[in-house]
Each structure stands twice: as structure tokens, then as C-alpha cells.
Amino acid sequence: MTMADGLNPGALAAAEGGDAAGRPAVAPEPGLERGTTPTDQAIYQRLVSAIMDQRLAPNTKLAEDHLAQVFGVSRTRIRPVLARLAGERIVTLTPNRGARVALPGEREAREVFETRRLIEPRLLALFVQRQTPARVAELAACIDGEEAARRAGDRHRAIRCSGDFHLVLARHAGHETLGRILQEMVSRTSLVLMAWGPLASVGDAAAPAEVAPAAHAPGCHCHAPGCHCQAHRALLDAIRLRDAGMAQRLMHEHLDQIEATLDFRATAADAHPLAGVFKDASHSLIDSPAVLHKRAGA
């Protein structure tokens, strides 16, 4: 059943285990066994993962009581996690209105890519110096995983593998400070691409074949059917050759190409319930606008 079937929220909730006020029955968050209490870090990481996988859209309302039910903790445990996310500009906190997933504007989006162009080539050069066969294989696995997920139409897994390519580079570069900054930038890039990036999704047969291979998010998210992650593969080739200069040039080009896909003429659609954010939950626990774009002239 869905709300589109004509049931009001209260009737839907009552029919599937909720209450008459419309509050849904709650299933535990995936990866958390019943009777166990997640750490604050685990809650934080699950929320970040949902954003990086583009399962939580910009401007999604993050109600403390709903999140507390999902994770089986008190609201007082949720608040510091949301505060931490707000400090990283991934969530916005508004007095008397609560928390929402951040909706970056054009200026912020440009700053995110400028920051990545400043730090990511340096991390890449450090990775080249410190590379081992195992670390290179880890990068290759990210590319292979993304391509396999795209062929299977698994959009969220493709996005995760793509972002992981950049995070693996940072993790093995040996620069903790820049690596931590990049992790935040990759999450914010996901928000930017959800809000202002290409409309077509991974595995969407209706996606136009002429979409450039540069249309990726947050790392190399190919949206056109049959598109391959040429940017990441070219980077991997340069790394294997231990050519740091070439790798840095390719990274600059890669980030420039992603930024070039942004369209700030897009507008967000009205809010509607977002189902299945947490796969094991039997109902949506978070209201989301899902950032469906209305292109000029579309």
C-alpha cells in the first residue's frame, strides 16, 4: 500500500502497524541487531552513508523522534549527531524548525569544487608516492564495483563505489587533515549533485545516450547507459605509472567536468514522503522533497 492508493496517513499507518495519528510502525535500522544500542559514530556514519548514496535528498526533514525510533535510542542521543553533521555543513539546524539535510546554493557548490581542486591533487600525489599493489587494487575494485552496479541498475551502490574511489585515495595518502576535509567535501558534493546535477539516474533506460561521460557524482557517477568511468580509469593508469603530474592534471579535469554538469536553473519540487531510505524500515520515517528538478523549457 502507498499513500498514492488513496489512504490517508492515519489509515495507512493503522493498516500496516502504525497508529491512527499517522505515525508509522518502526523497524530497526539495518546493521543494528535488536536489543543492541548503536554508538553515536554508528548513527553518524549511517546518516552520512544515506546522503552519499543519494537516498537522503537535500532539504529532507530529519525529525529527532523518527530518527530516535529508527536507531532505537533516545532523542538526546540524536541531537549531538545532528549537531556534528551541521558543523560539517551536511545538515542545517533551524531554531523551532529542527534539522534538514542541507540544500547547497550555487556559491556553496562552487566553493566545494574549488576546495576539492585545491586539496585532491595533493592527496593524489601523496597516494602515488605511497602506493602499493593492494592499494591500487582497492581503487580498481571501486571502479569495477561501480560499473557492475550500473549494469545491474543499482544506482545507490554505483554512487557509493564512485565516492569510495576518492575516499580510498585520501585514506591511503597519509595526510589525516586533508583526508578528513575531503571526506566532508565528498558528502557535500553528493548534495550538490542531487540538487543541481544531471537528471538521469544510473541504469535509467530513458537517459539520453549523448550525456557526456563527465556527468558523474560525487566522483565519477556515470548517468548515461553504457557509459564507462573513463576519468577514474585514466587516473588509475597514471597512478600505476607513478606519474603524479599526469594524475594531478587528470584530477583537475575530472573535477572541472563534474562541475560543468551543474544547472542552477533547476528548482526543487514540493515535499513528499520518501520511502525506503533505510532498507529494513517498513515505512518512511523521514519526509523529503526528493529534489526533483524542473528544467527551463523541459
Residue 274: its H or E element: strand 272-274
What mean pLDDT, rounded, does the chain reach?
75
232 vs 237: CA distance, rounded Å: 9
Please tell me the distance from the alpha carbon of residue 95 to that of residue 99, in angstroms, as a whole number. 9
Nearest to 117 by CA among 253, 234, 19, 233: 253
Instruction: Give which of 36, 30, 74, 61 is closest to 285, Cα–Cα.
Output: 61
Does residue 136 contact residue 236 with C-beta atoms inside 8 Å?
Answer: yes
Give me the number of domains the chain comprises: 2
Please indicate, yes or no, whether residues 96 and 112 belong to a single structural domain of this protein.
Answer: no
DSSP 3-state of 214: coil
Q: What is the pLDDT of residues 54-102, one digit of tens each?
A: 888 899 999 999 999 999 999 999 999 999 999 999 999 999 889 999 9
Residues 181 and 115 reside in one and the same domain: yes
User: Is 26 contained in some domain?
Assistant: no
Q: What is the pLDDT averaged over residues 31-38?
A: 62
Separation between Cα atoms, residue 213 and residue 231, nearest integer Å: 8
CATH number of the domain bearing residue 135: 1.20.120.530
Q: Do 133 and 113 belong to one domain?
A: yes
Are 150 and 182 in a shared domain? yes
Residue 8: pLDDT over 60: no
Q: Read off the pLDDT of residues 250-291 as tens digits, 9 standing for 90 and up.
A: 999 999 999 999 999 866 543 334 335 554 433 334 443 333
Residue 274 β-bridge partners:
286
Q: Are residues 156 and 184 in the same domain?
A: yes
SS3 92: strand
Same domain as 181, residue 116: yes
pLDDT at 267: 62
Q: What residues make up the domain containing 117? A: 106-199+229-261
In this structure, the answer to whether residues 122 and 239 fall within a common structural domain is yes
Q: Is the pLDDT of residue 180 over 60?
A: yes
Q: Would the pLDDT of 132 be above 90? A: yes
Distance CA 20, CA 4 (A): 18
Answer yes or no: do 95 and 75 share one domain: yes
Give yes or no: residues 152 and 237 share one domain: yes
- Looking at the fold, whether 134 and 65 belong to one and the same domain comes out as no
Is 225:270 a contact under the CB 8 Å cutoff? no
DSSP codes of every residue in 122-146:
HHHHHHHHH--HHHHHHHHHHHHHH
189 assigned to some structural domain: yes
